[in-house]
Structure 1
Amino acid sequence: MRFLDRKDAGRQLAARLTELRDAQGWADLVVLALPRGGVPIGAEVASALGAPLDVLVARKIGAPGQPEAGIGAIAGDDPPFFDRRALQLLDITPDELAEDVARERAELHRRERLYRKNRPEPVLRDRTVILVDDGLATGVTAHAALRRVRAEHPARTILAIPVCSTRSAEELRREADQVVCLQPHQYLHAVGVWYEDFAQVPDREVVDILERRQADR
């Protein structure tokens, strides 16, 4: 079953998370969305849970000549996370990807300035952090993002996605206290095929959503 679009996926994910919050007693929630595709979903989740919404900007590091094939990722100023198995298969080293990392780091900081403007980063210590994206394929971006979150010592870290690779979700259970996925699939080659409408989310939409959520608080 495919989602109509990201808003539809966000509403369905929000319903599941609301049930879990009530059953497990989550408190002091904050929702962090991975831009750009995770932001419309995160907005639905934050609205349903009555939680603040912010972004955690992470950038994928693609394989040489295949930028969409994620073999690593960065979040904040943390060291890159790399899929060691992918590096071995491609016979490349992290040093050979240094230029790619630098380029993506510059783009990461550009987006942080654009999305957050002068707002400080949210305080995560001792809070329940729900990290949201529109899908989980290789999982490298989520790995980097979760490590960034855990460095801030939250009380609980929950990764929430509408659709995921079962293998990637299982691996990420070592990084998150809980992984919530509505549609796990053993073979997930592309997240977009599970959406009727998977149009790219522009920067302007991300900024508008964040500004609306700030105004509603």
Structure 2
Amino acid sequence: MYFESREEAGIKLAVQLFDTYRYENCAVVSLTDGGVIVGEQIASALHSVLTMLLVEKIEIPGEHMSFGAISQNGSFSYNSSISEGEMDEYTNEYHGYLEEQKRESFQKINRLLGDGGLIDRDMLRDHVVILVSDGMSSSAELDAAMDFLRPIRLQKLVIATPVASVEAVDRLHMIADELHILDVKDNYLGTDHYYNQNVIPSHEETVAKINKIVLNWR
């Protein structure tokens, strides 16, 4: 399945979620700037808040997979789809690289947080959290997000994404109460591949969307 835009995909997901969650205490939480475009459509339809959890994925050099991801509280989560033995090998081989990437990624997150968009744990407590992305290719970002969300008492965790890999879906079944995925790919070719329009707003524009979401409730 291909989509004209992230807005179109978000509207399709909002239709699926509307009947169940329109009058519930929901918070839409995006994992990416592109996911905010998707999440904006859902939050507008459900009259819910929209925010963003900053997660930076760290790639293994020369491989189409990641070590894991670091979240805005500074915690690093290893990619759970990689075996313990393989991860030990990668960590030993790329130890210096990994530590440097952790530092750079956390510094990047802190710079972005300086522009706003810091997630409020109290805003999520006892709410239905709808975790949104424009595409989920691996479990790395999900594991980092779960490390951040785990201490928070949630009513329910719902995952909504237009497209996901088989690997990501396998992980999602283990951590989420409910899934809304429009298409699952055996061979995930990169998130942009599944959209005809690929104009992603700057982080400043993303923060503006988050701050204005209440004005756009439908």
TM superposition shift of 1:57: 0.9
C-alpha distance in structure 2 between counterparts of 1:86 and 1:202, whole Å: 36
Letter in 2 for 1:59: E
Letter in 2 for 1:13: L
Match of 1:203 in 2: 203
Aligned length: 212
Find the partner of 2:38 among 30, 37, 41: 41
Is 1:108 equivalent to 2:109 in the alignment? yes
Q: Which runs of 5+ in 1 are unaligned?
A: none
| TM-score after normalising by structure 1 | 0.86
Matches within 5 A, 1:110-189: 110-116=111-117, 120=120, 122-189=122-189
Match of 1:80 in 2: 76
Instruction: Tell me the secondary structure at the aligned position of residue 179 of structure 2.
Output: strand
Alpha carbons of structure 1 residues 191 and 116: separation in structure 2 relative to 1, 3 Å: closer
Q: CA RMSD in A?
A: 2.5
The Cα offsets for residues 120-140 of structure 1, whole Å up to 9 and x where unpaired, read as: 555222111001110011121
Q: Any conservation in 1 of the 2:67–2:87 contact (CA below 8 Å)? A: no
Alpha carbons of structure 1 residues 148 and 162: separation in structure 2 relative to 1, 3 Å: same
Instruction: Tell me the secondary structure at the aligned position of residue 115 of structure 1.
Output: coil
TM superposition shift of 1:91: 2.7
Match of 2:54 in 1: 57
| TM-score after normalising by structure 2 | 0.86
Which moved further from structure 2: 134-143 or 69-78? 69-78
Q: Any conservation in 1 of the 2:78–2:143 contact (CA below 8 Å)? A: no
TM superposition shift of 1:175: 1.9
Match of 1:6 in 2: 6
TM superposition shift of 1:90: 8.8
TM superposition shift of 1:204: 2.8
Identity of aligned residues (%): 25
Which moved further from structure 2: 179-188 or 206-215? 206-215
C-alpha distance in structure 2 between counterparts of 1:90 and 1:49, whole Å: 44
C-alpha distance in structure 1 between counterparts of 2:88 and 2:147, whole Å: 25
Instruction: Tell me the secondary structure at the aligned position of residue 123 of structure 2.
Output: coil
C-alpha distance in structure 2 between counterparts of 1:132 and 1:203, whole Å: 17
Letter in 1 for 2:101: D
TM superposition shift of 1:14: 0.9
Q: Which runs of 5+ in 2 are unaligned?
A: none
Alpha carbons of structure 1 residues 181 and 20: separation in structure 2 relative to 1, 3 Å: farther
